[in-house]
Amino acid sequence: RSVKVRVPGTSANCGPGFDCLGVACTIYNELELTLLEEERLDIEITGDGAENIPVDERNIVWRSIQKLLERAGKAQEYKGAIIRMDNGVPLSRGLGSSATAIVGGLKAANECLGNPFTNRDLLQMATEIEGHPDNVAPAIFGGFTISIVRNGKPECFSLMPKLPLKLVVTVPDFFLPTKAARAVLPAEVPMKDAVFNIGRAAMLTAALCKGNKSFLRSVFDDALHQPYRAKLIPGMYDVFKAARAAGALGASMSGAGPCLIAFTVENADAVGMAMRDAFAKNNVKSQYHVFDIDG
Ligand code: HSE
C-alpha cells in the first residue's frame, strides 16, 4: 500500500524562543511511500536541492521510516521502501528542511501501518532524531508552537494567532548548515540576556493568543543566539531594520539562518522588497516569499 503525505516547512526560534518556539509556513514537501518486504531502497527526489540529498541508506527520510518501523516492531517485516519526494522547502536555509524530511518519513510510515502512533509519539521520535523540538513540532502540529523537553520527553502546545500574521521570509543565496550555526554559540549566557528573552518569548505568545498587535512590536528581538550568529549573515541587522521601517512588527533569523523572517500584518510585499534591498546593499543576493501560517 502506498501513502502520500504533505509536510510544511517551518521557521524556528521566532526571535526570542531559541529551541522552543516555531511556526509552520505555507510551503510544503510532498512524500509518497510504499513499504516493501524485500531489502530494496528506491528513492527519487525532485524539487529544491534534490541533487544534494543522498538517495541511499544515509537518506534522512529512510532513517526516520526505519526508526518508526523499529518502534512498531515491524523492521523485520518491512526491509525496504519506494520513496518519491517533491521538495518545496529550500535545503539548509533555515526553513526546517531536515525537520520536514524527518516528519515526512515518520508520518508516511505511521500511515502505512494504520496509524499506531499519536502525533505526540511522532514528536518524541522526531525530536530524538533532530535533537531539538522547535522545527519538528510545527511540522507535525501546524500553527505556532511552543515546545519544551521534560525528562527527555517533548511536549508541544500549538495555537493559531488571533490576527492575520504574514511571514515574510527572505532567502539569501548561500547555505548555512545548522551544525555550523550552532558551533558559534556559547555554552553559557549572561543572566540579563536570559531575562531579556524569557520576557519577550512569554509576551510574544500571549500577544499572539490575544491578537494584540501593539505588544507584538517589541517582542521579536533576541539576545541568546543572534548576536553570536550575526557574523555568519552579512547585513543581518540592516535587514531587520529595513523590515521594521517598511512596516513589519519585527524580524529575526529563521531558525539557525541564513533565511531572515519578518512578521507583519500589512504591506508584506513592501517588507520583502525592503529586506531584499538591504541584503543587496551588503552584496548578498536574495529572494523573498510571503507565507501564511499553516494550520
Ligand atoms: N533552534 C535551532 C537553532 C533551529 O537555532 O539552532 C535550527 O534547527
Q: Give per-residue burial for 21-40: e unless 16+ CB within 10 Å, then b.
A: bbbbbebbbbbbbbbeeeee
**Is this complex scored with an ipTM above 0.90?**
yes
Phi/psi-derived region of residue 148, left when phi > 0, alpha when psi is between -120 and 50, beta in every other case: beta
Structure confidence by residue, pLDDT tens digits, 227-271:
999 999 999 999 999 999 999 999 999 999 999 999 999 999 999
Complete DSSP assignment for 275-286: HHHHHHHTT--E
> 130 alpha carbon to ligand 1 midpoint, in Å?
10
The C-alpha atoms of residue 178 and residue 11 are separated, in whole angstroms, by 13
pLDDT at 183: 97
For the chain, the helix, strand and coil percentages under 3-state DSSP, each to the nearest 5? 35, 25, 35
Asked if the bond preceding 90 is cis, omega within 30° of 0, the reply is: no
Q: Quick check: 92 pLDDT over 80?
A: no
Residues with CB under 6 A from ligand 1: 12-13, 18-19, 132, 134-135, 178, 181-182, 225, 255-256
Return the pLDDT at 48. 84
Q: pLDDT, tens digit, for every residue of 93-129?
A: 889 999 999 999 999 999 999 999 999 999 999 999 9
**Residue minimizing CA distance to atom 4 of ligand 1:** 255
Residue in 10, 14, 19, 261 to alter for ligand 1 test, most ligand atoms within 8 A of Cβ: 19
Average pLDDT over residues 261-288: 97
The rounded mean pLDDT for the chain is 96
- Cell numbers describing residue 63: 532513517
Q: How confident is the model at residue 66 (pLDDT cuts 50, 70, 90)?
A: very high
pTM, whole model, 2 decimals?
0.94
- Going from the Cα of 13 to the center of ligand 1, the distance in angstroms, rounded, reads 7
Protein residue closest via CA to atom 5 of ligand 1: 256
The answer to whether residues 252 and 226 touch, using CB atoms and an 8 Å cutoff, is: yes
Q: How confident is the model at residue 49 (pLDDT cuts 50, 70, 90)?
A: confident
Residue 94 is predicted with a pLDDT of 85
Split at pLDDT 50, 70, 90, the class of 284 is very high
Region 62-72: what's the mean pLDDT?
A: 98
- At residue 17, the pLDDT reads 98
Does the pLDDT of residue 60 top 90, yes or no?
Answer: yes
- In terms of Cα–Cα distance, which of 132, 126, 2 is closest to 60? 126
**First vs last Cα of the chain: how many Å apart?**
28
Question: Which residues sit opposite 261 in a β-bridge?
Answer: 169, 252
What span, in angstroms and rounded, lies between the C-alpha atoms of 243 and 228?
A: 21
pLDDT band at 291 (very low <50, low <70, confident <90, very high): very high
pLDDT value for 1:
80
User: What per-residue confidence (pLDDT) applies to 45?
Assistant: 95
Distance 254 CA to ligand 1 centre (A): 8
Find the range with the poorest average confidence among 45-54, 75-84, 203-212. 45-54
